[in-house]
Structures are given as C-alpha cells and as structure tokens.
Structure 1
C-alpha cells in the first residue's frame, strides 16, 4: 500500500478551486435547493458513553473544514453549517439522532464512528435521499447493503484484515489469538483475520475469544486466551476494553506482542493500560494527524482554533466535509440524487489518504492502513506496509 501523503496547501487549494463557469465552491446555482439559507450538514458522533473521547475530535475536524470553506464564500453561494447529534455509539440513540437530523433538513451526513451504531442509520438517511460520507465507521457490513447514498472514506474491515496479516507475517508472529467484543466492526475484522490465520503458509490461529463490552474485569477471558499459548494477540474492539485487556494481560504475565485495530487507537488506551503496559503496543490504523507527512500546518491550525491537539478521525471528518462540498459544487445542487452522482464521479480529489476515487461499491480503492506503535507514551508510525 502507498503511504498516505498530503500537503496542506494542495488540500486547501482543492477545496477552493472554481471552474470557468463559476460552479466551484465559491459560487454557482443550487438547482436542488429549497432555500437560500445555510446548507446544513448532519453529524452523528459519540458525545457520551465509552467512546465519548472521539466525538470532539470528529466534530472539531468537520467544523474546521466548514470554517475554511465558508471563509472562501461557502458552497453554491451559501454558507455551510454543522449540526452534530450524540449517538453514544448506541444503535437506538443513533437511530433517534439520525431521525432528528433528517427532520432538521440536513443535506448530507458526515458522521459515523461506531459501525454498530452507524448501521441502523443507513436506511434512515437513504430513505430520505440524504448522502452519507462516513469518516470513521468501517465495517464491511456498511457497504454490503449496497445503498446508493452511502460512501466510506475510511478503509473497510477486509482492508484492515489485509494490513493486519501483512504485519503479523512481517513481524514473525507464530501463533495468534484474536479477541473481539461482538460488535459489527470488531467481529467483522476478527472473523476475517481468524479465517486468514486458518490458511496454510502464515501464522497459526491460537483461537478467537469474545468479551462482553463495558466490563472492568476480563480475567476469565485473559486466562482463556493465555491457555492457547499465543505469541501475538490482536484485539479488534474499542479503546476502553482494549486498555483494560492490555493491562490485565501484562499483569497476568503475558510477554508476547499485542496489536489493536483502529477503534482502539486513542491516547486514552495508554492511560487505561497504565503507562508501561502499553509500551510496544501495535495498531492497524489509517494515519493519525501527527504521522501524516506535510500535515504540520493543518495540525497547528487545529490547535490554534480549538486549543487542543487533533486526534483519531479529526482528519477524516475534515475530509468528509470537503468531499461533500466538492460533490455539491460539481452537482451545482444539494439535491441528494445529483450529489450522489457527483460523488461517484470524483476522481483525484485530494484528501489526507491521497487522491480520492470511489469504487463501484462506494469505498476507497485502497484502505490506507499503516502500523502504529506506542513509543514514549504516544502512538507513532512503525511501518507503512509498502
């Protein structure tokens, strides 16, 4: 896979680009618009629950893009506006939040973190003919339904599995245990990885273990996994449980390697694991703000605006807004059908993971996953998997 590279100036130039007919982001007629007020974009993110740390990263990334675009004149002569709802990474909360956004008249959705909570919102937005550009949620189940309004700009579960297997082989793993929490996203990656481990020629599968999310004591799961004598453990769930499992595995005497999937990549996993227990923790992840080449100016701008560091899925959320703005610009409209056609026609638009072109099933042609590792208390780039 190619290592994701971006230069901020190129990205911003792409946002601000206009055509000779004035149909760029700075101008144009909204043929499908029903008013001349702001174009409202909806965003479901976790603001409560165990994944609440992620919500501000995503919301801030999206807001930064909106303010940059509005400073250049907006889209189709109108300002963009963000409306964010708390989905708590809970399916029922997410469905209610999606219905609120539809009722509020949003023209596109740029949210979605937990796949299990995002899945039930797909038919809500699709029925309302509202395009979704999902920045984080990435279960392969999201594209399996083949809904025309659904697009992903994060690599999917099968692509993450490919990256995980490449690193397991490259790092010399012999016997791998896979652990997950039975949510759509986590199970998708875990089952796919376990199936790959069953194939000859690579590491062996030590076993696959399911845990109950939200608990504080995973000693029974830890004991069960360690009985299989793995030299490598891959956790595919979220950071709260990932941090506890990492800590409890180390406390139980496990000396082998541990890797987590992208849902567990958050600085909080390090504090939950308790410092040195997280040292050397690997992760399959699309690149983080501080590992993207050329993104230093963007990071500085984010820090200046929000007085905080950007985190996981800040760049993807920033890009989700930019992609929607580009599609509306190309469509000359906020009409859902026209925006979907424009999204399908995007070819080479620069986002953080590289030039964008959607596959026929509306996902990235390359997942863009890299391997991160915890060093000195933070995630750093370990391998680009070239």
Structure 2
C-alpha cells in the first residue's frame, strides 16, 4: 500500500475544512500482479461513478450511467484491458454533500480503481480527499467548479469545461448580441456561485455594466421578489447560474414582472424540464451555455443509436462526457499497464490529442481542458429540448 504521507497531511487539512469525513483507505497495484484495485488480477477492473439518481437532479444520473456503460460495453467487446473486463459500480450521491461522502466510501470499500462520476460540484468537492487518500484517480465528467481545481490534488482531472471557461462563453455571447448591461443570479451552491462570480468579473473586465446581482435559496416556489428587482433593473441580459427547477420558475416570474431582456442559463439548467417548469410561452428569450450533445454533433448518429439500444431512450446532458470519462481512464490504465495511482496519473497527464466528443484532449498543467468547448443552445418550442443555436465561432 502506498500511503504517500505528504498527501495524507494535505488531505487531513482538506477534511478539517470540509467537516468530519470518514476516510476509507485503499490500495492499488499493477494489472499483472495481485492488485487490490477491482479485485484480484483475474477479476474485473472496477470503475466507480457517483451521480444523482434521487433528488432534484436525478434526471442526469441515468444519462451519465448509460453513457459510461456504453463505453464499458464497447471496451469489453474489444477484449477489455489486458484481458480483464471493466465493471461500472454506481452509487447515488443525490447531489448532496453528506450523501456523496457516504457513497464515495462505499465505492472505496468496493475496490474501484478510478472514479468516473461527479455531477454537482457541491457534492463532488467533499469526495476529493476520500478518493485522494484511497489512491483513486478521478476523471470528472460534469462537475466543473473552479473549486475542484483549486484543491490541487494530483489525481483530479476535469473533462468538462471549467466555470471560468463557461463564464467566458457567456460574456462572449453578451457582447455578440450587443448587451451593455448584465445581471447574475445564483443559488448559493458551489457550482452556481463560482460561475456567477466568474461571469461578473469577466463582464466587468470586458467593459460591461453589472446592474444587478442576487442569490436565491434553492427549493422554494416563490422568487417574485428577485423577479421584480430584475425587471426593475432592466439589464440587457441576465445569467442564471443555478439549476433548472428554480431557473424555470424565475424566468416565468421575471417575465410576468415585465423583464424583456435575454435570459441566459448555465449548463445546470440545460434540460427539457426547464421549459416544462417555465411553461408555454415563457422560453422565447431563453438560451444557455453548454457543451454540445450528440444530436448537435455531425456524425454521431451511430453513437446515438447504440445509446438508445442500451438505454431505451435518447441520450441527454453529460452522457457523452461520461462515455469519454470511461474511455480516458481506460486509455490511461492501458498505457500504464497498471492500476497504480501514480502510474495512472502519469498516463493521464501524458495523454495527447486523445479523441473525445469535445475534441482532441490534452490536459493542461491544472488537469483541465485547454478549451471549454461551450456553445450557445436555445429551446426548441415544439419539444422543449435545448438545441444548438450559436457555436460562438463567428
């Protein structure tokens, strides 16, 4: 077992900051000789996934699980890794910090050798020290708060664009439509506040006037006070950085209060349920910042068909990122010829132009993407689904 004492001291400081977290240590080793990662050397290589399968964000859990499972099925059909099959072990984190800690410890106990999950940043953050101490690298497909990067843990990699990159796309769009004044509303979660803060700073740096900022409490039904303030401030564009439940209500109530500007939402709100919650006639001015989904990508027809055959339904947000997270981890394990933490991390850092849905992947020194890949999506009035509107290239 590799205890890595300097990292243990850093982990304990993180735990103190995050609260009382039970840390379950684990071991990892090479593919060829009796590693504890995913069973004995002849057993399956276990990859763990934390995702929301209950709670307000449960729609995304199945998208992520099915995308990851599709990649695993393809790799196994091609012989696996060193004649060992991959196995996906899934736990529900409910987008809740307490639930995610318990779920992460279950994955460690189950013997996973890498994590390919993480949707809500607030639920993903407290799992970082758990996986770090257990020697389990993380390739995070969805959660993208800058706070994940700031921990500077060696085994944490993001294959979704960061909050800074997403905010940059939002500012680019605001400038493109000629907005002079902007506003930001967040829901006090780690992901949302990080994205809103980055947007506000970048908007100011770009010479835009930030005329209104607000924080709301998630889970409520009445946001009329903030909606009325927004309508009174009359910004050309408002950026809602929270999730779709509250976002749908806010756009409806703000429209009723008289707000007529552009309503931009972050990737946590990009789901057909946004239009369902907002109601018919309330989404004409709504667009979102998001990475492209399969239906927006030329040549993805076969992948979509394969996903539908597996899942019995269409792929949704973060299905492709989860698919790629598995492929990235599998490539690193194969290159390292081991599940040893340090060797897999070195292999991840050494990936160059690895083909993913977001484009050729080479990690930066911070273990993030060199480009965020964010585009602008609008709502199809017939289906309520978000569709590509502007790739921000022109």
TM-score normalised over the length of structure 2 = 0.89
Asked if 2 retains the 8 angstrom alpha-carbon contact of 1:206 and 1:230, the reply is yes
Aligned residues: 358
Question: 1:293-308 alignment to 2 at 5 Å?
Answer: 293-308=298-313
Distance 1:258 1:172 in 2: 14
Say which is worse superposed, 356-365 or 215-224, in terms of deviation: 215-224
Aligned partner of 2:32 in structure 1 is 30
Distance 1:384 1:32 in 2: 48
Distance 1:328 1:338 in 2: 8
Find the residue that maps to 2:35 and give its secondary structure: coil
Find the residue that maps to 2:389 and give its secondary structure: strand
Aligned partner of 1:258 in structure 2 is 263
Deviations 1:158-187 (A, max 9, x none): 111111110000011121110001111111
Asked if 1 retains the 8 angstrom alpha-carbon contact of 2:271 and 2:385, the reply is no
Asked if 2 retains the 8 angstrom alpha-carbon contact of 1:163 and 1:369, the reply is yes
Deviations 1:55-104 (A, max 9, x none): 00001100111111111111121111111111010001001100110011
Aligned partner of 1:76 in structure 2 is 82
Find the residue that maps to 2:281 and give its secondary structure: helix
Question: 1:239-258 alignment to 2 at 5 Å?
Answer: 239-258=244-263
Distance 1:298 1:211 in 2: 39
Deviations 1:18-76 (A, max 9, x none): xxxxxxxxxx9535734110111100000111111110000110011111111111112
Aligned partner of 2:114 in structure 1 is 108
Deviations 1:245-274 (A, max 9, x none): 111112222221101011111111111111
Asked if 1 retains the 8 angstrom alpha-carbon contact of 2:231 and 2:258, the reply is no
Question: 1:327-342 alignment to 2 at 5 Å?
Answer: 327-342=332-347
Asked if 2 retains the 8 angstrom alpha-carbon contact of 1:44 and 1:87, the reply is yes
Find the residue that maps to 2:282 and give its secondary structure: helix
Find the residue that maps to 1:130 and give its secondary structure: coil
Distance 2:57 2:351 in 1: 32
Consecutive unaligned residues in structure 2, runs of 5 or more: 1-29
* Greater than 4 Å deviation, 4+ residue runs: none
Distance 1:103 1:61 in 2: 24
Distance 1:303 1:381 in 2: 21
Distance 2:92 2:183 in 1: 34
Distance 2:208 2:128 in 1: 37
Displacement of 1:335: 1.3
Q: Does 1:174 align with 2:180?
A: yes
Aligned partner of 1:42 in structure 2 is 48
Q: Does 1:135 align with 2:137?
A: no
Distance 2:235 2:184 in 1: 10
Q: Does 1:53 align with 2:59?
A: yes
Aligned partner of 1:326 in structure 2 is 331
Distance 1:319 1:115 in 2: 19
C-alpha distance 297-176 of structure 1, shift in aligned 2 (>3 A): same
Distance 2:87 2:329 in 1: 12
Asked if 2 retains the 8 angstrom alpha-carbon contact of 1:32 and 1:334, the reply is no
Q: Does 1:86 align with 2:88?
A: no
Asked if 2 retains the 8 angstrom alpha-carbon contact of 1:279 and 1:375, the reply is no
Find the residue that maps to 2:353 and give its secondary structure: strand
- Higher RCO structure (Cα 8 Å, ≥6 apart): 1
Aligned partner of 2:387 in structure 1 is 380
Q: Does 1:237 align with 2:242?
A: yes
Aligned partner of 2:16 in structure 1 is none
Q: What is the aligned counterpart of 2:126 among 85, 103, 120? A: 120
C-alpha distance 105-166 of structure 1, shift in aligned 2 (>3 A): same
